[in-house]
Structure 1
C-alpha cells in the first residue's frame, strides 16, 4: 500500500527535488520490506545503501542538466494528498492488525520460506554468476570514473 501511495505521489510531482525525495522514500520502503522478511537486517541495509548510491548519482546528473527551479509547495494539493493517503492507510492498518492477531504461526512459517527464496541467490551454485555481476559492476564503475575527468565531467561544478 505504501508503495502504491509513493508511486502515486511520484507521478504528480513536477520538480526534480520532489522526484528525488520520492525515489529515496521508495528505496527505504523496499529495503524495510526486505529486512522485515529476512532473518538478518543486513540485506535490507545493503540494498538501501546500494539504491541510495545509484539514486544520488542519477540525482546529481539530473540536477546538473536542469535549470534552477524554486520548490513551490501548494498546501491545498498537500492537504488533499495527505487526506488521500490517510484514507487509504486506515483500512489497511485495521485489516493488518486483525490478521496479525489471528495468524502469528503462519507469519513465522512464511518468514522462513521468504528467507530461503531470497538467500537462494547466494548459494554455491550461483556463486560464479554473483561474482561475475560484482566484477562487471566494479569494472564499469572504474571505467566511468576514468572517462569522466574533471574537464569532461558534469556541466555544473558542485
Structure 2
C-alpha cells in the first residue's frame, strides 16, 4: 500500500513537471516565467526528496533555487513593464487533455525500485553523507550559520535604501 502511494506521488510530480515544461513555451511575461520556474524547482526538489531517502539534499537545492529566484525576481520586476497577467484557461485545458491520457505510456514507475537502486550505489555509506551533521562538524556548521546571519544584517544596514541598484519606487 505504501509503495503504491509513493508511486502515485512520484507519478503526480512528474506529470506536474511535464505540464510546467509545456507551459513554458507559452509564457510571455517575465514575472510569470519566474513563477513557473519557482513551481518547477518545488516539484523537482520534492521528486529528489522522494527518490533519495534523506531530505537535506532537496532542502539545499530548494534554498539555493529560491534564493536565486528572489534576486532574479527583484531585478526583473524593477525593469519590466507593468502589463496585466493574462491566463488562458483554454490553453490549460488543452494541455491537460493532451498530457494526462498518455500517462501510462510516458512514465511507468512501478517497474523501478528506487530504494534498491540507491542501496546498490552505496550513497548512504558515503563519508560525506554520514558526517554532514556529525557532532564534530556541529561547531563549524553553527559558526557558518551565525556568520551568514551577521553578514546579512551588516550588509542590509550598510546599504542605503534609496541609492541601491534597483530603481526607486516613488509614487507621486
**TM-score where L is the length of structure 2:** 0.61
Structure exhibiting the larger radius of gyration computed from Cα positions: 2
Measure how far apart 1:41 and its partner are. 1.0
2:99 is equivalent to residue 85 of structure 1: yes
- Secondary structure in structure 1 of the residue aligned to 2:162: coil
- RMSD (Å), alpha carbons: 3.7
Contact 2:19 2:96 in 1 (8 A): no
Measure how far apart 1:59 and its partner are. 0.9
Q: Which runs of 5+ in 1 are unaligned?
A: 125-133
Whole-angstrom distance in 2 between the partners of 1:79 and 1:17: 22
Q: How does 1:2-151 map to 2 (within 5 A)?
A: 2=15, 3-92=17-106, 95-97=108-110, 99=111, 104=113, 107-112=114-119, 113=121, 115=123, 149-151=160-162
1:6–1:120 Cα change, 3 Å: farther
Between the two proteins, the alignment pairs up a number of residues equal to 142
Contact 1:37 1:114 in 2 (8 A): no
**Partner residue of 2:167 out of 142, 155, 158:** 155
Measure how far apart 1:22 and its partner are. 1.1
The structure with the greater share of residues assigned to helix is: 1
Contact 1:39 1:115 in 2 (8 A): no
Q: Which runs of 5+ in 2 are unaligned?
A: 1-13, 133-143
1:89–1:18 Cα change, 3 Å: farther
Whole-angstrom distance in 2 between the partners of 1:85 and 1:119: 42
| Greater alpha carbon shift after TM alignment, 66-75 vs 3-12 | 3-12
**1:136-155, CA deviations, whole angstroms, 9 ceiling, x for partnerless residues?**
xx7xx89x869964233211
**1:109-140, CA deviations, whole angstroms, 9 ceiling, x for partnerless residues?**
2123273599858989xxxxxxxxx9xxx7xx
